[in-house]
Amino acid sequence: MPGLTPHSGNVRHGTLRVGLIAGEPSGDLLGAGLAREIRRYYPDTEFCGIAGPAMLAEGVPSWVQMERLSIMGLAEVVRHLPELVSIRRRVTRGFEAMRPDVVVGIDSPEFTLGVERRLRKAGMRTIHYVSPSIWAWRAGRVHGIGKAADLVLCLFPFEPAIYSAHGIPASFVGHPMADTIPLEPDRESAQAALGIPAGGREVIALLPGSRMGEVGRLGGEFAAAAALLAARHPGLRFIAPMASAPIRALFSSQLANRAPGLEVRLFDGRSREVLAAADLVLLASGTAALEAALFKRPMVVAYRVADVSARIIKTFKLMQARHFSLPNILAGEQLVPELIQDAATPDRIAAEASALLDDPARRAGLMARFTAIHETLRQGADRRAAEAVLALTGRLPEPLA
C-alpha cells in the first residue's frame, strides 16, 4: 500500500462512519492514533463504539465505559459474563442500527471478534487490529478470525504470511511503540530525570509485571535475584517502575522478605524512563520485553503461569512457538535469555544477568540487533492502519503526483 503524506490536497469531505471498539488501555491508544489519522483525510468522520480516555480525547464517543471490558482472569470473566454478553449485544445492535462504513475491533479478541463476526454476517465490513498470538499458542484460532474479519492489521512483519496461508487478508502496519520510542534513547537524561546520580556502577531495572498475579509469581524471585547480583557485583543500583499502588505494596513486601537491606528505588509508573535509564533489565515476559528491546537494553526474561494453566498448556500442546519473548520471536533465535516456570529461579536469573554484565561485547551485539528490530517495526503504524481502513472502504485518496 503506497504511503501518503496527508495535506490539504488529499483531504476529503463527506460523511464517513467508522466503528471502533477498544477493550483495554493499549487498544485505546491504538484507537486514538487510528482516529486521528483517519480524520486527517476525512475531518468530518463520525465515530462510534467503545472508547477509552485517549480515544475520547480524539472525539470518539463511547456507548459504554471501556473499563467494563478490562477484566482479567478466568474467575473474573465468569463472574462478569452476563454483563459482557449484555454489552456485546448492545454494541452489536448499535452498529447494526448505524451501519458504519467499517467496524474495527482493536485487540481484546475475546470480546471484539464476537462482535466482528456478527457484523460481518450482517453484511458489514470488519477489521481486526492486532493479531492474536496465533503463532505462539492456540493456532486454531486463525479460522475464527477469518470468519470475523475482512482484514487483519498486524503489528509484526511475520504475521501476514500466517494468515495468507489460510486465505485471510492481512497487512503489516508496524508497531506504534516503535514510532514513539527514539532510535537512540538518552540514558543520561533519563537517569537525571529519575534523580539517579551520574557515574557509579550499572543501573539494573526490575520489572516483575503489571498484574498482581504476575508479580505474585515472579516478584519474589526477582527480589532474590537482585540480592544475589548485588553480592556478586558490589555497587549496582536497582530501580523498578510500579504499575499501581497494590503492586507497589506487594513488591515492597517481597523485597523486604527476599532481599532485606537491598536498596531498590521504586517509581510510580515511569516505566519508559526506567527502561531508558537502565543498563540491564530483569523483566516478566510480555510487551515490556519488546519495549526494553526498543530501548536497546540487554535483558533477562522470565515468566510463570499458574500451575494449573501450565499443566493444561502442556497436556493439550497449546504452545507452538520455540520462544516466548518477543525479542527472540522477532529475531527468529534466542537473543536474550528466557526462563520459564521452574527455570525462573533467583539463581538462574542472577546467573544470566551476571553473564551479561561481564560481557560488554555481547551487550553491544544485542543493542545492534535491537536497533535492526526497531527499524523494521518503525513504519508509521497509525498512518498505515488508517490507510488500510480507508482502502477497505474504497475511500483512500490517491497520492498526488
Q: Which of helix, strand or coil describes residue 171?
A: strand
In residues, how long is the chain? 401
pLDDT of residue 71: 53
- pLDDT over 50 (residue 72): no
Mean of the pLDDT values across residues 369-391? Answer: 98
Q: Kindly indicate the confidence band of residue 398, based on its pLDDT and cuts at 50, 70 and 90.
A: confident
- pLDDT over 90 (residue 140): no
Mean of the pLDDT values across residues 202-217? Answer: 93
- Give the Cα separation of 377 and 232 in Å (integer): 37
Residues of the chain with pLDDT > 70: what percent?
88
Strand ordering across the sheet containing 264-268: 264-268, 237-242, 203-207, 280-284, 299-303, 338-340
Q: Kindly indicate the confidence band of residue 400, based on its pLDDT and cuts at 50, 70 and 90.
A: very low
- Give the Cα separation of 360 and 77 in Å (integer): 46
Kindly report, residue by residue over 268-318, the tens digit of the pLDDT: 999 999 999 999 999 998 889 999 999 999 999 998 765 555 454 454 444
For CATH 3.40.50.2000, the residue range(s) in the chain are 17-174+379-393, 187-377
pLDDT of residue 308: 54
Local structure of residue 394 (DSSP, 8 states): T
pLDDT of residue 6: 41
pLDDT of residue 271: 95
Strand partners, 95: none
Total-model pTM: 0.87
| Cα-only R_g, the chain | 22
DSSP string of 30-92, one letter each residue: HHHHHHHHHHHH-TT-EEEEEB-HHHHHTT---SSBGGGG---SHHHHHHTHHHHHHHHHHHH
- pLDDT over 60 (residue 4): no
List the CATH code of the domain at 17-174+379-393.
Answer: 3.40.50.2000
Strand partners, 339: 302
pLDDT of residue 73: 40
Q: Are 370 and 296 in contact (CB under 8 A)?
A: yes
Mean of the pLDDT values across residues 107-126? Answer: 95
- pLDDT over 60 (residue 333): yes
- pLDDT over 80 (residue 341): no
Closest CA to 271 of 207, 200, 177, 359: 207
Mean of the pLDDT values across residues 158-162? Answer: 95
- The per-residue pLDDT of the chain, averaged, comes to 89
Which one is predicted more confidently, 8 or 120? Answer: 120
DSSP string of 236-304, one letter each residue: -EEEEEESSHHHHHHHHHHHHHHSTT--EEEEES-HHHHHHH-SEEEEESSHHHHHHHHTT--EEEEE-
Mean of the pLDDT values across residues 235-243? Answer: 97
CATH class of the domain whose range is 187-377: alpha beta
- Give the Cα separation of 209 and 281 in Å (integer): 12
Q: Which of helix, strand or coil describes residue 5?
A: coil
Q: What angle do CA 172, 7, 29 make, to 5 degrees?
A: 45
- pLDDT over 60 (residue 144): yes
